[in-house]
Structure 1
Amino acid sequence: MKVTAYKPYFGATPNSINDADFNRLITYFELLGAVKNPTVSLIIPVYRAKETLVAHIFSLANLKTIIPYEVIFVENNADSETLSILEQLGAKVVSEKEQGITFARQKGLEEAKGQIICSMDPDSIYDPYYIDKMALPFFMDKELVLCYSVSKSYENDFQLSSKMRFRNRVKNIYFRWKLSQGFTTRIKYIRAVSMVIKKEAILPIGYETDLRVVSGCDDGMLAIKLHSIGKFKYIPVDVYTALPPKREPAKPFPFCNERFMPTKKVIEETCKELIIEEVSQ
């Protein structure tokens, strides 16, 4: 299916889709539950994902592979609507209460049974042959530790205007050029949405859980460490993901961005109250 075919599922819930679609997703997770020895683990952290989650799950249900795999959703203090979707469909969900994407990814890694870890996002639509294209290279090259790709973007309801199609072509060319550069340039353009990693390589390293709220930084830090262990491989595969939020002018997003720093609001309010009391006396 093309990404535009997922438009009917934007903002969908198990209650809003038709019976055939609902039964298909229920059956999909029942079949996944019968897989006892997965070779590949798909790890999907979820926080606020209700608008895109059903469509994302349909893209997983459309995966075509003979490789046994599992799907693990890591709820990271997710909202009730997101949790309800996963519960109604019978998805495997584990919880990570420590807030932050790297904490969630680390939890998924610890729960994974597969030899190959696919890092995914719940706002993304994946190529039906994603697992075969991204996982099989590890069995052909024993030195490989990371396969990665370049994602494209879709608009709010999984649509692609002419402007967006042009943007995606330019982005692909630009990223491919950047990824062909030296190590320090390449790691900046590797994104978690389409990183597939050998478990035995990442397990001793783990995710940088002290990076509480990051976008890109966690991917880059992981890539730096993996680069010293083995080989990387770029795989051309279709992955469509939501546009990132806008950045504040002249500031990186969101790492080192003041609005993502821990608030001192409680201390400030306390000081303010003390000052008021002193004046009133």
Structure 2
Amino acid sequence: MRQLKNPEWIDELKFEYDNFDQIPSHVFDKINSDLDKVLSKEPLVSIVMTAWNEEVNLLRTIASLSKMKTQIPFEIIVINNNSQDRTQDTMDNLHIKRLFQPKQGCGFARQLGMEHAAGKYILLADADCYYPSCWVDEMMDVLRQPNVVCVYGRYSFISEEGFPRWKLTLLEIMKDMFAEIRHIKRPYYNSFGLSMGFVKEHGMKVGFVPSKWRGDDGMLCLGLMKYGKIKQVRSNKARAWTEPRTLKRSGSFSQVLKERILIEAKRFKGNFNSKMPKDMSMME
């Protein structure tokens, strides 16, 4: 069932702080208390995320992950990707595994996280998203199926002024329809690091793209295809939720819709061709 309004559980995690200095200690204490209940020293799953200038957003993301309802042992690894704000201070006040990658770029940071991951499986998350309590279970239910090496989930946008949920729902329906088409021949176009999972053993063989450019998640998925199946996690209840920051760069909702339609029209024919595209930048 589609969400025509923002989930209530997100409202509880939308800490209205502008910077690290405004975060009271009792907020860290509560999140850490929840983390201590769910994190494992012998994880099967490593949740890996990079953070660049996310001193408050990271708090929200970790708070959502601390609410996971699962019997699967997991750890959380956050890589500070050379942030210029107080992201490191936020990390240091949370009971998570903390790493620092001075080389700018998600590929560098995610590679470092993967190398330090103790889990057999890796789930990628973003430091500015909210994750429902069923996310780990839903992702792992598909990832642990026979011959599956990589999965990716779906995501939704949190409504704001000018971007009401009913309009965002229409956009997401269109987005999911095109994702179904792309999945047939080019699933790597759908695999975004905000909700993606893979088998670490094979991920280490492929590795992340060591550069500043975007698309390292899609390139990893592309490389994993030779080791097994790529599957979607279609469950709507497992959707990651994110602020519409990327949408707002395009302007109004009508401008966003027009831009997305033009992008999909441009690459529509290529969706039926299994040949690797020349323009890999279209992965993002």
Q: TM-score range by the shorter chain?
A: 0.7 to 0.9
Post-superposition offset of 1:76: 1.2
State whether structure 2 residue 54 is matched by structure 1 residue 49.
Answer: yes
Measure the CA separation in 1 of the matches of 2:164 and 2:225: 33
Q: Which residue of 1 aligns with 2:254?
A: none
Larger Rg: 1
Instruction: Name stretches of at least 5 consecutive residues in structure 1 with no aligned partner.
Output: 257-281
Measure the CA separation in 2 of the matches of 1:42 and 1:102: 16
State whether structure 2 residue 149 is matched by structure 1 residue 145.
Answer: yes
Q: Which residue of 2 aligns with 1:96?
A: 101
Q: Which residue of 2 aligns with 1:23?
A: 29
Taking structure 1 as the reference length, what is the TM-score of the superposition? 0.77
Q: Which residue of 2 aligns with 1:2?
A: 9
Distance 1:247 1:207, change over 3 A: farther
Measure the CA separation in 1 of the matches of 2:177 and 2:241: 19
The structure 1 residue matched to 2:138, chosen from 128, 133, 137, is 133
Q: Which residue of 2 aligns with 1:196?
A: 197
Measure the CA separation in 2 of the matches of 1:127 and 1:224: 27
Amino acid at match of 1:181: I
Following superposition of structure 1 onto structure 2, how do residues 263-274 of structure 1 map, counting pairs within 5 Å?
none
Measure the CA separation in 2 of the matches of 1:197 and 1:59: 21
Taking structure 2 as the reference length, what is the TM-score of the superposition? 0.76
The number of equivalent residue pairs is 245
Q: Which residue of 1 aligns with 2:121?
A: 116
Cα deviation 1:219-271 (Å, max 9, x = unaligned) = 221222122221122112221123327269999xx959xxxxxxxxxxxxxxx
State whether structure 2 residue 220 is matched by structure 1 residue 222.
Answer: yes
Cα deviation 1:36-66 (Å, max 9, x = unaligned) = 2100000011111023121111101111111
Measure the CA separation in 1 of the matches of 2:232 and 2:113: 23
Instruction: Name stretches of at least 5 consecutive residues in structure 2 with no aligned partner.
Output: 1-7, 252-258, 264-279
Measure the CA separation in 2 of the matches of 1:40 and 1:32: 12
Measure the CA separation in 1 of the matches of 2:36 and 2:11: 27
Measure the CA separation in 1 of the matches of 2:188 and 2:167: 22
Q: Which residue of 1 aligns with 2:5?
A: none
Conserved 8 A contact 1:11-1:51: yes
The CA RMSD over aligned residues, in Å, is: 2.9
Q: Which residue of 2 aligns with 1:269?
A: none
Post-superposition offset of 1:80: 4.4
SS at match of 2:170: helix
Q: Which residue of 2 aligns with 1:244?
A: 246
Conserved 8 A contact 2:17-2:23: no
Amino acid at match of 1:105: R
Post-superposition offset of 1:69: 0.4
How high is the sequence identity, in percent, across the aligned residues? 23
Cα deviation 1:187-243 (Å, max 9, x = unaligned) = 22321111111112211001111x3131xx222212221222211221122211233
Measure the CA separation in 2 of the matches of 1:74 and 1:199: 17
Conserved 8 A contact 2:43-2:73: yes
Amino acid at match of 1:2: W
Post-superposition offset of 1:170: 2.1
